[in-house]
Structure formats: structure tokens, C-alpha cells
Amino acid sequence: MSYHNPPTPPRKSATFDDYTLAEIRRAAATGIYDIRGAGAKRKVPHFDDLLFLGASISRYPLEGYREKCDTSVVLGSRFAKKPIYLKTPITIAGMSFGALSGHAKEALGRGATIAGTSTTTGDGGMTDEERGHSQTLVYQYLPSRYGMNPKDLRRADAIEIVVGQGAKPGGGGMLLGQKISDRVAEMRTLPKGIDQRSACRHPDWTGPDDLEIKILELREITDWQKPIYIKIGGARPYYDTALAVKAGADVVVLDGMQGGTAATQDVFIENVGMPTLACIRPAVQALQDLGMHRKVQLIVSGGIRSGADVAKALALGADAVAIGTAALVAIGDNDPRWEAEYNELGTTAGAYDDWHEGKDPAGITTQDPELMKRLDPVAAGRRLANYLKVMTLEAQTIARACGKNHLHNLEPEDLVALTMEASAMAQVPLAGTSWIPGKGGF
């Protein structure tokens, strides 16, 4: 019998995979690094790696249709005379006018208002349509100071001092010339059509002591009425949270590495910062060590997609969450109905991330007057409201199954982890064991 020896199939490298090879060739051909929008695309430990246990004999579940499970949250109760009350703990994250069209900002305001939650301005200032359609609007105070003025500080319901973003801790914003329309240029008091790179650190302070003075200044301007948030990128969450509390924050916003961005270097998005899951427990620990957990509220963002993600973030100790990318998808971003046009741009629905180019077929990440018209802010706002409602109901369903009459009563004990990495990061036991790897110290 003859021995059949089939040819050895060609073997591709796991290190030099097709994407990596193409990226090397692209860099060699152009000499420029890749800039893109959205968050980290690599797989990192995330909320999917956690499961709720639900109730059994030792825990008694709540009846879905008869027993109440509260979803409300109050933000800014530490110092502000007028804290914010929200019906759902899912807020809309800061996304700039400039990165997004005026219609998109309006849609976000409309959707958040129907759902009883807040929306947030961004790098580039506050637009009238956004203020007009947002019942509760958080005004970002950024290193760039684009669009910053005391009048808008007073028109806001809360102020968010942006120290960093999860997609790029230590990096500044970018808005490329294609998107600097007359209106965007006027609001930022910068020339039209020229690339804008925002500062990576705030010129008004160099450390927590000066930040404290800045916060006092903002409180004076707004008569101590408005809650002051501090937003940090997920880098050193224990120390950054502690320092934000020391500086006088009412609320800490913590954004993990999966967090979206309008435009940043791909190498930055994928290689700097910590996964959202790894950020929450150290931040909560800092609040607990200072006796401030639930007194200074914690908002977590970066890759939140469903009511399960919301419930898991809250069970780990967050008071609320913020969504960026998911809100854009809800209003129509990357919708398959624009597939032919995505293909013309060399991409496909679900992967389109060249938001900095301003050619978005869905009319969301653009300032092109014709493309912008494609987004109906009223219908898009309704879609966002539906999505927020579904996520809230999902989180409520899980909380009831765990026997909790408020989403805030969810706790780490309700969770187990599917992997050792998630177990170590979330500080909950590996499923089927009582083991938490690496417990003790951050």
C-alpha cells in the first residue's frame, strides 16, 4: 500500500496576521499613522465574562410585575445645592458638536429627555438645539476650552471637568479640517478647515491642589448650584478617584479603554489604558477607603451595550453608567441600510470608523449639510429612548431575579466570573469556586 503524503498547507503567522501585514504595508506606503474613531477593537476581559447568580433558597427573588424595583439615581448630592435626579442610571456620554452633527446632538438630547436621563456636551461647546432639547444637560469643561464660556456654565445642569478619556488617557482630542465648518469654527474661535488638536492637559492646573481651586472657581460662577463631575480615563483608577474626591468632585466619571472616541491614533486606542472591567473595583475601593462610596457618585463608561452590562457595572459598585457608541448605534450609526455607501468608502456596516473624515453616510459623524439631513432628530431621538427603556428594563429584570428592590442593591456577591482574568479584575469568584485570584491590594 502506497503512503499518501499530502502537501503541507501554507502557514500564516499569528504574530504577523493579515491585518498586521496590511497595516505595515499601509504605513510603508503613506508614512502616516492611522487615525480613527470608536473604541478598542481588540478583545479584553469585559462584562461578558461575568454572570449573575440569581436567587435560590438563600436569596428570595422579587415578582416581576408586582414588586417594585427602583432604577432612579441622584447625582451630585455631596456639595451641589441642586443635585440631578434621573429616572434611569444610564446617561449619555459627552460627545462633541463638531465630531457629531447638530442633528445628532439634538437626537441625543431628545432621546435622553424622553427616557428621563441626562446628556452631555463635549469638546466644542454647547449648541442651542442641544440645550433646548435636553432636560438635563451636563456641560464639559475641557483642556481645549473650545466653546467654553461662563454663560453656558450657568445654562448647564451640571459641569464635567474632563481630565481624560478611556480611549486615550494622557492624549488630547482631534478634529480634522474636513469637519471644521463655519459653525464649528465659530464656536471654537479657530479658523475653518484647519486640523485641530486639543491639549492633552488642562492649562489651568498642574495637579490636584490647583484642581481644587478650579472647582471652587466653577462653584462660585454657578452659585454652588450645579454638581461638578470629574471625568478620568481608566489608567490609575484608585489614585485618580481618590484625588478627584480630594479636589472636591461631586461625581467621578470613569471611562475604560473600550470607550469610544471621535478621532485618535489607532495605536493609542489599542495600547493605552485599562479595560473598563479592571477599573471599577479600584475606584470603588478608593471611595470606600475615603468613606465616600454613594456620597460621591461613580459613573462608569466604556463598552456598555445592554441592561446586563449596566447591572454588572452597578453590582461592582458604580452608581450610574454612560454610553457613547451604543447611543450612536441606536440613532443610526453604522446602519446596514447604508451598506452600499460604506462599501464605496472601503468598509462595511459595523466596521465604519473613519469618523474624522466627515463622510458618514448615516449623517451622524459629519458636518456635511447634505449628509446631515439624512438623520431625522425626532425619529432618532425616539429610537434612543426605546433603547434606553429596554436597557433599563433588562437591568431591572436581573435585579429582581437577584432579590433587589433597587438597582443599587446589586452587589459583587451577586456575580461570578467565567475566566481567571475577569475574576481577578472584578474581584468576584471564579464560577463554581470561592477563589478570587490576586485578592489583596491594587
Ligand X SMILES: Cc1cc2nc3c(=O)[nH]c(=O)nc-3n(C[C@H](O)[C@H](O)[C@H](O)COP(=O)(O)O)c2cc1C
In the complex, the residues that contact ligand X under the rule CB under 6 A are: 37, 39, 93-96, 99-100, 122-123, 140, 162, 165-166, 231, 255, 258-262, 301-304, 323-326, 365
Instruction: Using the minimum distance from each CB to ligand X, give the nearer residue, 162 or 428.
Output: 162
Cα-flanking dihedrals φ and ψ of residue 262, to 5°? -80, -35
Q: How far is the CB of 276 from ligand X (least distance, A)?
A: 8
Q: Are strands 118-120 and 35-36 parallel, antiparallel or unpaired?
A: unpaired
Q: Which is nearer to ligand X, 375 or 402 (CB)?
A: 375
Q: Between 100 and 415, name the residue whose CB sits nearer to ligand X.
A: 100
CB of 265 to ligand X, least distance (A): 15
Closest separation in Å from C-beta 358 to ligand X:
12
- Residues ≥6 apart with Cβ < 8 Å to 326: 304, 305, 387
Residue 223, classed as helix, strand or coil, is: coil
Least separation in angstroms between residue 350's CB and ligand X is 15
Closest residue to ligand X, based on beta-carbon distance: 324
Q: Residue 188 Cβ, how far from ligand X at the closest point, in Å?
A: 12
**Closer residue to ligand X in complex, CB, 162/402:** 162
For the stretch 70-75, contacts whose Cβ atoms lie closer than 8 Å and that sit 24 or more positions apart, written own/partner, are: 70/405, 70/406, 70/407, 71/392, 71/395, 71/396, 71/406, 71/407, 73/297, 73/319, 73/320, 73/408, 74/297, 75/118, 75/158, 75/227, 75/229, 75/250, 75/251, 75/297, 75/299, 75/319, 75/320
The Cα 257–Cα 151 span in angstroms is 33
* Pick 39 or 429: Cβ nearer ligand X: 39
| Closest approach of ligand X to the CB of residue 365, in Å | 6
- CA-wise closest residue to 40 among 200, 237, 266: 266
In the complex with ligand X, the residue whose CB is nearer, 47 or 238, is 47
